[in-house]
Chains A and B, each alone.
Chain A
Amino acid sequence: GAVVSQHPSRVICKSGTSVKIECRSLDFQATTMFWYRQFPKQSLMLMATSNEGSKATYEQGVEKDKFLINHASLTLSTLTVTSAHPEDSSFYICSARDWGRDTEAFFGQGTRLTVV
């Protein structure tokens, strides 16, 4: 199957700083990528849909100024958590679909963000 690489896998940052998470499709082009957030022992909640070359579409309740998404190329989307606070600590996962090959979504390995 297709490969989606997410980096970093773990990051610890201080309150008030910003953190950037990258999501790359390694062997296919992804016009659309998705960003999810997962709290401990809970399901994945879709945060936003990242569209190549245009603005991201955010789900209700997700602060677009706090979670900045950039999808500047067909293989890279980034999520920046701005002015991070401890309540932003979570597991963030991206996904992408290779529409040319398959109907399934491929997920990155996830990023464990801890804000101290």
Chain B
Amino acid sequence: AQSVTQLDSHVSVSEGTPVLLRCNYSSSYSPSLFWYVQHPNKGLQLLLKYTSAATLVKGINGFEAEFKKSETSFHLTKPSAHMSDAAEYFCVVSVGNQGGKLIFGQGTELSVKP
């Protein structure tokens, strides 16, 4: 069965410092993995996705993530945080044989201090 674990419920960084949001997955299949961002009372926006191509995936707004099969991880990083990055971030795995069903991690709230 597929599952996703986000290791931190809340991360706080200072503006201009690096961001690391951690995610581990479990999947019986070769997984498709995603990071989504959600601002308060808004829908979800895709940051980036991994679908068995390059293991280092670059997304929007300077975010990137590296798929590490040996560690079953898909951590999200950004070299320099911006105030507008403050939001909720979800690591998501696609259930490969169920027509697009997604399993969400618990979410990580990112705070950015001036």
A residues engaging B (CB < 8 A)?
1, 6, 32, 34, 36, 41-46, 49, 91, 93, 95, 97, 99, 103-105, 107-110, 112
B27 within 8 A of A: no
Partner of B90 from the list A34, A43, A49, A110 (CB cut-off 8 Å) is: A43
**Total residue contacts A-B, CB cutoff 8 A:** 54
Partner of A44 from the list B34, B94, B104 (CB cut-off 8 Å) is: B104
What band does the interface of chain B fall in when counting residues whose beta carbon is under 8 Å from A?
20 to 34
Check B107 against A34 for contact (C-beta < 8 Å): no
Check A34 against B100 for contact (C-beta < 8 Å): yes
Whole-angstrom CA separation of A108 from B88 in the bound complex: 17
Partner of A103 from the list B42, B51, B105 (CB cut-off 8 Å) is: B51
B41 within 8 A of A: yes
A interface majority secondary structure: strand
Whole-angstrom CA separation of A93 from B42 in the bound complex: 10
For window 70-113 of B, CB contacts with A under 8 Å fall at: 90, 94, 98-107, 109
Partner of B102 from the list A6, A34, A109 (CB cut-off 8 Å) is: A34
Chain B's closest residue to A111 (CB) is: B43
B32 within 8 A of A: yes
Check B99 against A43 for contact (C-beta < 8 Å): no
Given known contacts A43-B90, A104-B34, A109 and B42 CB-to-CB distance under 8 angstroms? yes
Given the complex, which residues of B lie within 8 Å of A45, measured CB to CB?
Answer: 104
Whole-angstrom CA separation of A1 from B59 in the bound complex: 14
